[in-house]
Amino acid sequence: MTIAPPAPAAPFGDPGRDALVPSADGPADWLHIARELADDLATDAASREEAGKPPLDEVARLREAGLLTLLVPVAHGGAGADWRAAYAVVRTVAAADGAVGHLLGSHYFLSHSARFFAAPDRAARVERASAAGRWYWGGGIASQEPPLMLTPTASGYLLDGHQRYGSGVGVADRLLVRAAVPGTGEPLAVLVDPAHPGLVSGGGGDTFGQRLAAAGAVAFDSVPVARPDVLGSLSSDDGVLSPFAGLAAPTARLVSAQFCLGVAEGLLGEVREHGRAVQSPWHPLAPQPWPGSPPQDPYVLTAYGELAVAARAASALADQAVDALTRGLERGEDLDDEECAEIAVLASAAEAAASRAAQEITSRALEAVGAPAALTRHGLDRFWRDTRTHTLREPVAHRLREVGDYFLNGAHPPFSLPS
């Protein structure tokens, strides 16, 4: 029996309660736009994931929907939405297609990074160019990534080295990478045009999940970089970054949390339809209810109850963290170190909770379906594979250590950007 995938939804809460935001042309319900795109992605998500082609069409759909410029201010040519709307959009898209949700979440963080690390005039210039070209941003400035080398020249810089992992590198219009100037070793955020022949992407992207994330390694061989494309410092040394710039880390952590919640809720939405349509895997010989009546197997109901609790708890914590981050971003340069630390700890807790919930849900929800969950035509395994690929890159243990150290010792989390 083949069951058509349902429209993706958040079965245990609405992530977009405040996603009605202004655009350049007037009010736009970005969550509604995201849901329409998600409905479209859900119809063939399993077959596209199995084909594993570069997500050129998927990025084009994001561009046509206006989602790539969501966070760019109206004055700079964008929609002028805030991070609350962006998180809701990422979560909605990830529920339909985890790889595309990952692409979009990475784009939002990377394209927004100029606001954290660059001077205001430089950030405005970058945002205007990005909005005018409707750029998709890829790459990565993760703290664990060895920096590339940025050698000064008479006209700018030359970029050399090898990045082990970058998101969306196969389809990006611009890459944001981590580089260092020889001598000082200070890490810098650098914007690069991937069209240059000295840049070669490929390798390292053959993962068992997120096959459409166009991720992988990138090699740079004397790639020219203009001086204005060096956005600013990524140094974790005390006093280098302002508390406001320190919000880049929790902002990225909450992208990760919303991705995890979206994928988990997407699978729950699909297995719920399966659970209503097929016989219980635990009591195959038990009398079945009348056709169309709700399932009554106590084991199935208990399993769904436990998964619903896990989803709701992680979602509630994520909402708290988003509220705290929103207040911090509104304070801008008035934010102090203690406020930044509290937001960072709450974001780490939310990411850890979402990661654990997603791993539990994407494993146990398949058990509620039983043997049909193993059939390729249903494509239910992609939710588990997308989740596990993501959580292997972002181990929960590091986030829990930060939360514990702050709880016991009041220690501020180190500035660390995720992949």
Per-residue pLDDT reduced to its tens digit, 115-149: 999 999 999 999 999 999 999 999 999 987 778 99
Query: What pLDDT is recorded for position 205?
Result: 59
Report, as an integer, the average pLDDT of 238-249: 94
**Residue 353 pLDDT > 60:** yes
User: What's the rounded Cα separation, in Å, for the pair 283 and 63?
Assistant: 48
3-state secondary structure 111-131: HHHHHHHCCHHHHHHHHHHHH
Q: Three-state DSSP class for 178?
A: strand
For residues 117 and 272, the model is more confident at 117
Report, as an integer, the average pLDDT of 235-240: 88
Query: What pLDDT is recorded for position 310?
Result: 96
**Residue 222 pLDDT > 80:** yes
Query: pLDDT tens, 68-81?
Result: 999 999 999 999 99
Query: What pLDDT is recorded for position 280?
Result: 55
Rounded to the nearest integer, the mean pLDDT of the chain is 87
β-bridge partners, 191: 176
Q: Which helix (H) or strand (E) holds 177?
A: strand 174-180
Residues 196 and 224: beta-carbon distance below 8 Å:
yes
Query: What pLDDT is recorded for position 46?
Result: 87
Ordered structural domains, the chain, with CATH: 20-136 (1.10.540.10), 139-233 (2.40.110.10), 243-409 (1.20.140.10)
How sure is the predictor about 22, in pLDDT bands with cuts at 50, 70 and 90?
A: very low
For residues 196 and 213, the model is more confident at 196
**Could you give the percent of the chain with pLDDT greater than 70?**
86
Query: What pLDDT is recorded for position 33?
Result: 96
Least confident of 96-105, 107-116, 369-378: 369-378
The token duo for 136 is 């998709």
Residues 396 and 355: beta-carbon distance below 8 Å:
yes
Number of neighbours of residue 188 by Cβ within 10 angstroms: 23
Least confident of 40-54, 128-142, 201-215, 277-291: 277-291
Query: What pLDDT is recorded for position 12?
Result: 54
Query: pLDDT tens, 167-211?
Result: 888 899 999 999 998 888 899 999 999 999 888 876 555 776 677
Only one residue has tokens 């400035």, namely 141
β-bridge partners, 138: 175
* Torsion of Cα atoms, 251 then 253 then 256 then 260, to 10°: -120
For residues 292 and 110, the model is more confident at 110
Query: What pLDDT is recorded for position 383?
Result: 94
Query: What pLDDT is recorded for position 4?
Result: 41
Q: Give me the helices (H) in 287-409, please.
A: 298-331, 337-369, 381-393, 396-409
Amino acid at 39: D
Query: What pLDDT is recorded for position 1?
Result: 35
Least confident of 2-6, 31-35, 294-298, 335-339: 2-6
Using alpha carbons, select from 315, 383, 243 the residue that is nearest to residue 11. 315
Query: pLDDT tens, 303-326?
Result: 889 999 999 999 999 999 999 999
Q: Which helix (H) or strand (E) holds 180?
A: strand 174-180
